[in-house]
């Protein structure tokens, strides 16, 4: 992938604009997990599958701090952040993967990453 190495704070959205704020060291893999529902929980329950915002940070402590900062914001402030770089709420990961991830691919991914039902390795 063309993304820099480092840590990412990201915001995923559902079609109904339910928001999920997270942090990861591998944005492509984490977005794939959201899109395929590979990890059970909030994002799979609410179908939070569209990457609408992300930023790269070089240090894990800064990334975690920024994630907590954004999570603490009221919804409108999160929306303002998203719309400052993505006013139409386009999926920033469009074209990264097969448009319709199939169940077989999801099972292979889960198996290869040895994820249990809660998404832990």
Q: What pLDDT is stored for residue 96 in this prediction? A: 86
Number of domains the chain is built from: 1
Residue 117 lies in a domain: no
User: How far apart are alpha carbons 49 and 16 in whole angstroms?
Assistant: 11
Mean pLDDT in order along the chain per 10 residues (121 residues):
78 96 95 89 91 96 97 98 97 80 59 52 44
Q: How far is C-alpha 94 from the chain's CA centre?
A: 13
Q: Determine the structural domain holding residue 54 and report its residue range.
A: 7-112
Residue 13 lies in a domain: yes
Q: How many CB atoms lie within 10 A of CB 23?
A: 20
Residue 118 lies in a domain: no
Residue 14 lies in a domain: yes
Residue 58 lies in a domain: yes
Q: What is the b/e burial string over 89-105, where b = at least 16 CB atoms within 10 angstroms of the residue's CB? A: eebbbeebeeeebeeee
Contacts of 50 (CB under 8 A, 6+ apart): 12, 13, 14, 15, 89, 91, 93
Q: What pLDDT is stored for residue 56 in this prediction? A: 95
| CATH code of residue 103 | 3.40.1440.10
Q: What pLDDT is stored for residue 113 in this prediction? A: 58
pTM: 0.79
Q: What pLDDT is stored for residue 121 in this prediction? A: 44
User: How far apart are alpha carbons 70 and 68 in whole angstroms?
Assistant: 6
Q: What pLDDT is stored for residue 107 in this prediction? A: 62
């Amino acid at each position: 992938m063309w993304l820099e190495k480092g840590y990412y704070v990201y915001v995923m959205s559902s079609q109904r604009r339910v928001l999920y704020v997270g942090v990861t060291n591998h944005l492509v893999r984490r977005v794939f997990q959201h899109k395929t529902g590979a990890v059970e929980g909030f994002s799979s329950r609410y179908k939070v599958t569209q990457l609408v915002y992300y930023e790269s940070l070089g240090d894990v402590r800064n990334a975690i701090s920024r994630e907590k900062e954004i999570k603490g914001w009221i919804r409108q402030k999160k929306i303002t952040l998203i719309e400052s770089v993505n006013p139409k709420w386009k999926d920033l990961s469009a074209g990264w993967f097969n448009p319709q991830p199939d169940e077989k691919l999801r099972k292979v991914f889960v198996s290869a990453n040895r994820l249990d039902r809660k998404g832990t390795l």
